[in-house]
Chains A and B, each alone.
Chain A
Amino acid sequence: MALLEAQAVTKIFGGLVAVGGVDLAVEERAIVSLIGPNGAGKTTFFNCLTGLYCPEEGDIIFDGGSLVGLRSDQIIALGMARTYQNIRLFGSMTAIENVLVGQHVRLRSTPLGAIFQSPGTRREEQKAEQQARELLAFVGLAGKGDMIAKNLPYGDQRLLEVARALGSRPKLLLLDEPAAGMNPRETDGMMELIHRLRDELGITILLIEHDMKVVMSISDRVSVLDYGKKIAEGRPDEVRSDPRVIEAYLGAGVLTEHTA
C-alpha cells in the first residue's frame, strides 16, 4: 500500500486547468521526483497535497486517510511536511526558532503552562531545543542555531527549510526545488542529505527538481507533468527515453548530453 496516493487530482483557476486529473502513488521509503517544464503545475500540485489549495476534484489518500478538505496545519500533523521553491523562512527569527516553530505540532505546552513555567513545559522546551539543535546538525547547520534566518547564506537557508520541515517529524517530505540556485558542491551536499533523510530517518521523499543530474541520480521513480497532465511515469531511465517527455520537456540536446 502506497504512503501517498493522489487520485485524479484537479485544480482549476478560473478557466485554466492548472492540474488536470493527476494520479500519483508514492511508496513508503521511496524517492520520487516530479518534473516538467515551467508552468506545468508541479507546485500547484504540491499546494493541493499540503492543503494550501483545495482541489476541485479527485482524492488524496495519505497514510490510509483522505486529505481533501483538511487545513494545512492538520495535514502537517498527520505527517506531511514541505519546503518552498522560493525560500519562505521566518526571516527575523533565529535558525533554532525556525526549527522550534516547525516542531509546533509535536509540542503540547499551553499558555498557562508557559506563564507559570510548569515543570512539564520546562522539560518539553528543553527537549525541543535539544532536538532542534540535533536537527540543525543533521542537515549540516551545526553551530549556526543562533543566527538570524535571513542573514544565513542562500544554501544554508535551503537547509534550514529542510530542518524546519523535519521538526514536525514527517513521514513524507515534499521538497520544492531543493537544489535551485545552488552551486555544484552545494547540490551534491543536498543530494547526499536527501539520501540520508531516507536511509537514516526513514522519510519518504517527493521532490520537484529542474536539475536533471539530481533527478536522474537520486530518484527511484520519476513522474512528468506537462500542462497540468501527467504524460509519463516510471524509472528514471524509462522516463529519459520516453519520446513524449523528450518532446515536451527535455529536448533532444539535453538527452544526448546526459546519455553521452
Chain B
Amino acid sequence: MLLRSLQRGLRIGAIAFAILTYLILIGVPTRLGALAMPVLALLTALIFWVALRGGKSKQAIANRAPAPLFLTGTTAGLVAGVLTASLIAGFAQLLMAGVNVQPVFDKMVPMNVAALYGVMPGALAAGELPPWGWLWQAALLTLAGVAGALLVLIERALRQRTWSSGGALRWLTMLLPFILLAFVVWLGSPGVTLGGNNRSTLRLLMAMAAIGSGLFALRAARPGREQRLLALLLLAGLIYLPFTLDQFQNSVMGIVFIFVMMGLGLNIVVGFAGLLDLGYVAFFAIGAYVYAFLAAPFASPALSSLLTSLGIPVDGPLVSFWAAIPITMLAAGLGGVLLGIPVLRLRGDYLAIVTLGFGEIIRLFMLNLSDLTNGPRGMLNVAPPYLFGYSFGNPREIFILALLGAGVIAFAAYRLDGSRLGRAWIAMREDEDVAQATGINLARTKLLAFAIGALFAGLAGQLYAARQMNIFPDNFSLFVSIDTLSLVIVGGMGSIPGVVLGALALKGLPEVLRGIDEYRIVTFAALLVIMMIVRPEGILPSTRRRRELHEAGGPASEPAAALEPALPSDYRTLDGGKP
C-alpha cells in the first residue's frame, strides 16, 4: 500500500515535471511575468487533482482514503518541485555564465528565467538571484501536491453532501458562471490593475470560462422551472457581455460565435446525419461571396460592368445586409443540394474525399474566376450591416449579431433534433440499409441534411464577410473545414452545447495563448490528442453519442460493464445475442 502510493506519486510527479518543462521551454513564464511561479504552481495543483482523483465514477472518488492520498500528493509535488527547480537553476547558471542557449531553446531568454524567480531580468544579468530561489520553487510545487490531494478530499466531501442534503456541488456549478461574469465585469471597471499588461487577455479568458461554465450549469440544473429560470438568467448575462467587453475581446468573441454558427450547421451534417463532410467551408465561402457581390458589386469587374450596362449605379450595395440574408442562405443551401446529389451513394471515407474536393473547387473558383470575384485581390469594402441608418459593423455589434445568429441556429437545430427528420437522421447514421427499409427516403434525408447545414454556413459566411469587410479566397482554405470539424468533435458530436464549448476551446483559447506564438499550434495538437484518448465522445457529448461510445447505457448495466474490458459495440451484441 505504502509502496504503491509512493510509486504513483513518483509517476504523477514525473508527468507534472514534463508538462512544466514544456511550459517553461515555450516561454510561458515570460508572459506571466512576476506571477509566473505561483500561476504554474496553481496549474500543477489542478493537474495533481485530476491525476489523483483517478477513477471517473463517483464511487471511485468517494473511496479515496486521506492518508495514501496525501502521501501520493506530497511525493508527486516533491518530485515535480525538486526536478523543476533544479532545471530552472541549471538554466539560470547557464545564462549567468553567458552561455548562448538560444539556438536550441529559443525562448530561454533572461526575462523568461527571471520571471520564474519573480525578479527583473536585470537581476539575472547581474548575477543577483534570490538566495532561497531554489527552495522557494520546490516548496511551492510540493505545496501544489498537497493542494491537489486536498482538492480531491474537498470534492469527495461535496459529493457525499450531494446525497444527503441536496447538492452543494450542483449549486456551485450553477453559481459559477455568475461569479465568473461578475469577475469579468469587475476586471473591466476602471482602476483595477490585476493581471497587469495581460488584463485584457485575462478578461477574455474569464469571459469564455463564464460562457463555458454556463453550459455546464444548464446541464446541472433540474429540468423544469429551475432550468428555465437559470437559462433566462444566463441569457441576460450573455446579452450583457458584448457591452462590457472591449474592442479586442468583442472581436475575438465575434469570430468564436461565427464559428459556433458554422459548427452548429456542420453538427447537423456530421453529428446528426453522420455524413462526414470535409468541404464544409464551401458553403461558408458561398455565403461570404454572395453577400460580397450584393454589398460590394463595384469590387467585381464583371458584375460592375454588367450593372452599368443595365443602368444601375454600382457605387454602393445593391441590397441591405438584412435583405441579403435570405439570398445568401438560399445560395448556400442550393450549393448544399448540388454537392449532395452526386455524393448520395457514397459513404464514409469516399464521401469525405469527395466533399474535400468540393471545398477546394469552390476556393479555386473564387481564386481563378477573377472577372467575377476579383481573384486573389479579393472583394474589398464589403458593406457592414446598417440599422436605422447607423453602421452596425464594429466588433461589439458583430458579436451581438453572431450571438443572435448562433441562438437562432441553435434553436432550429434543437427543434430538428427531436423531430421526425431528426430521428430519420439518427436512424440513417446507425444503419443506412435498415433505415431505408424502415421507410426513410435516403436521398431526401441526406439532401436535407446537406442543405440545412449549408444554409447555416451561408449565414455565418455572410456575417464573416460583413465583419472582415475585405474577403479573399485564402480566407476559405481547407483549414476552416478542419477547424470546424475539430470543434464539433472536441465539443461532442451531435451536442449543441458541445459545439459552443468546442468553439470557445478551439477558436477562443488560441487567441488567449497568442503570446506563445509558434508553439500554440503544437500545444493545441497535443491537447487534442490527449483529449481524444481520454474522452473520445467530446467535452459535452450528447447522451446518444455517449451511449454509442461507452457501452454502459442504463444504470442497470453499469456494474457488469465495469468488470468487462472495453469492447467495440458490435462485440457485445454478438455474444450477448446468441444463446
Residues of A participating in the B interface, judged by any CB pair closer than 8 Å: 50-52, 71-73, 76-77, 81-82, 84, 86-88, 90-93, 97, 100-102, 104-105, 107, 109, 111, 114-117, 121, 125, 147-148, 150-151, 154, 164, 168, 181, 183
Question: Cβ of B423: which chain A residues have Cβ within 8 Å of it?
Answer: 93, 97, 100-101, 104
- B438 near A164 with CB under 8 A, answer yes
- B431 near A88 with CB under 8 A, answer yes
* Bound: A52/B556 CA distance, A: 36
Give the contacting residue for A148; candidates B419, B424, B452, B553; CB below 8 A: B553
Question: Cβ of A50: which chain B residues have Cβ within 8 Å of it?
Answer: 437
B416 on the A face (CB < 8 A): yes
Task: Answer whether A104 and B448 are a contact pair too, CB < 8 Å, given A151-B553, A151-B556.
Answer: no
- B577 near A90 with CB under 8 A, answer no
- B436 near A73 with CB under 8 A, answer yes
Task: Answer whether A151 and B427 are a contact pair too, CB < 8 Å, given A102-B438, A102-B439, A114-B416.
Answer: no
Task: Answer whether A104 and B420 are a contact pair too, CB < 8 Å, given A91-B430, A151-B557.
Answer: yes
- B426 near A92 with CB under 8 A, answer yes
- A91 near B420 with CB under 8 A, answer no
Q: List 13 A-B contacts (CB under 8 A).
A: A73-B439, A81-B438, A92-B430, A93-B426, A101-B440, A104-B420, A107-B420, A109-B419, A111-B448, A148-B547, A154-B577, A154-B579, A181-B577
* Bound: A109/B415 CA distance, A: 12
Question: Could you list 16 further interchain pairs (A-B, Cβ under 8 angstroms) beyond the known A114-B418, A181-B579?
Answer: A52-B433, A52-B437, A73-B441, A73-B442, A88-B434, A92-B547, A102-B439, A109-B421, A111-B419, A114-B422, A117-B415, A147-B554, A148-B547, A151-B553, A164-B438, A168-B439
* Bound: A90/B429 CA distance, A: 9
Question: Cβ of B189: which chain A residues have Cβ within 8 Å of it?
Answer: none
- A93 near B441 with CB under 8 A, answer no
Q: What is the chain A residue whose CB lies nearest that of B442?
A: A73
Task: Answer whether A150 and B439 are a contact pair too, CB < 8 Å, given A93-B544, A100-B423.
Answer: no
- B437 near A115 with CB under 8 A, answer no
Q: What is the chain B residue whose CB lies nearest that of A121?
A: B419
Question: Cβ of B521: which chain A residues have Cβ within 8 Å of it?
Answer: none
Question: Cβ of A84: which chain B residues have Cβ within 8 Å of it?
Answer: 434
Question: Cβ of B418: which chain A residues have Cβ within 8 Å of it?
Answer: 114
Q: What is the chain A residue whose CB lies nearest that of B426?
A: A93
B578 on the A face (CB < 8 A): yes
Task: Answer whether A76 and B439 are a contact pair too, CB < 8 Å, given A91-B573, A148-B554.
Answer: yes
Least distance between A181 CB and chain B CB atoms (Å): 5
B6 on the A face (CB < 8 A): no
B348 on the A face (CB < 8 A): no
Q: What is the chain A residue whose CB lies nearest that of B444?
A: A73
- B436 near A115 with CB under 8 A, answer no
Question: Cβ of B576: which chain A residues have Cβ within 8 Å of it?
Answer: 154
Q: What is the chain A residue whose CB lies nearest that of B414?
A: A115
Question: Cβ of A90: which chain B residues have Cβ within 8 Å of it?
Answer: 426-427, 430-431, 434-435
- A114 near B434 with CB under 8 A, answer no
- A91 near B439 with CB under 8 A, answer no
* Bound: A115/B268 CA distance, A: 14
For window 47-74 of chain B, which residues contact chain A by CB distance below 8 Å? none
- B420 near A114 with CB under 8 A, answer yes
* Bound: A87/B572 CA distance, A: 13
Least distance between B7 CB and chain A CB atoms (Å): 38
* Bound: A72/B434 CA distance, A: 9
For window 410-466 of chain B, which residues contact chain A by CB distance below 8 Å? 411-412, 415-416, 418-424, 426-427, 430-431, 433-442, 448, 452
- B438 near A181 with CB under 8 A, answer no
Give the contacting residue for B416; candidates A104, A107, A111, A148; CB below 8 A: A111
